[in-house]
Amino acid sequence: MSDKLLELKDICKSYRDGSGKRVILDKVSLTVGRGEFAAIVGPSGSGKSTFLSVAGLLLTPDSGNVLIGGKDVTDASKSERTMIRRRQLGFIFQSHNLVPYLTTADQLAIVQEKSMREKVKIRELLSELEIDDCRDKFPSMMSGGEKQRTAIARAFINDPDVILADEPTASLDAERGRLAVEMIRNEVRKRNKAAVMVTHDTRVLDLVDVVYRIDGGRLIPEAKSGEI
């Protein structure tokens, strides 16, 4: 299998805006390899979420190609996309977005594929994320940090190729936000996955391998802060 777990090639996406159209992504390309953690920064409204949605097969680009695990999935059917999202992608959202009536163990079990039960042990994952004691807790009984870590665990439950995180620190304070990103990084390294995180939180950028800035519909590599 290719080491380029996620490849986006010349992605264009524009929205209708009144009479004309607004270009959000203008021939954007990105490749993320095995064990690599990329961050995308940019001001609000610059197209970060749009980009992530295209990468996550939630939004079809106007043109360009999406490859996951080396396979072109641009033209996959709706149900194929659903299966790819379930098996090859792991999502971490802005707010935890857990199911309110399920305990942590059930949050993971409800999406875990049967074939993954041996490969990814819920108990191990929870202890790596230091939330063993949240196993039987409902989201309402957990702190914001614990909830976000549960969401991180959920993203890894089917041993996906690619992790996509949409502003994972947005609902957390600085310290917990940093911890959450650290944990994503640790899991990505340990499990040798590719990860893309969209964020406007520049304080966590030292934790990632590459940083891109999205601006004017373009994706520009940026020198990492702290790296001189």
Ligand X SMILES: Nc1ncnc2c1ncn2[C@@H]1O[C@H](COP(=O)(O)OP(=O)(O)O)[C@@H](O)[C@H]1O
Site string for ligand X, 75-114 (x = CB under 6 A): ----------------------------------------
Pairing of strands 210-215, 20-33: unpaired
User: Which of ligand X, Mg ion, another protein, none lies near 107, with the C-beta cut-off 5 to 8 A by kind?
Assistant: none
CA 121 to centroid of chain Cα atoms: 21
Among 43, 72, 80, 110, binds another protein (CB under 8 A): 110
Q: Give the separation between CA 140 and CA 138, rounded to whole angstroms.
A: 5
Site stretch for ligand X (CB under 6 A), options 38-46, 98-106, 121-129, 139-147: 38-46
Would you list the DSSP string of 66-104? EEETTEE-TT--HHHHHHHHHHHEEEE-SS----TTS-H
79 binds another protein (CB under 8 A): yes
Other CB atoms within 10 A of residue 109 CB: 13
77 binds another protein (CB under 8 A): no
Site stretch for ligand X (CB under 6 A), options 48-56, 78-86, 107-115, 170-178: 48-56
Q: Give the residues across from 222 on adjacent strands.
A: 211
Q: Give the separation between CA 107 and CA 28, rounded to whole angstroms.
A: 34
Compute the Cα dihedral for 24, 27, 30, 31 and give only its sign. Answer: positive
For 217, the token pair is: 């519909």
Among 2, 65, 74, 95, binds another protein (CB under 8 A): 95
φ, ψ of residue 87 in degrees (nearest 5)? -95, -30
52 binds another protein (CB under 8 A): yes
CB of 132 to Mg ion, least distance (A): 32
| Residue owning tokens 């790819």 | 84
Q: Give the separation between CA 186 and CA 65, rounded to whole angstroms.
A: 29
Nearest CB to Mg ion, comparing residues 40 and 131? 40
106 binds another protein (CB under 8 A): yes
CB of 131 to another protein, least distance (A): 18
| Site for ligand X, rule CB under 6 A | 15, 24, 42, 44-50
| Site for another protein, rule CB under 8 A | 49, 52-53, 56, 58-59, 79, 82-87, 89, 91, 93-95, 97, 99-102, 106, 110-111, 138, 154-155, 158, 166, 171
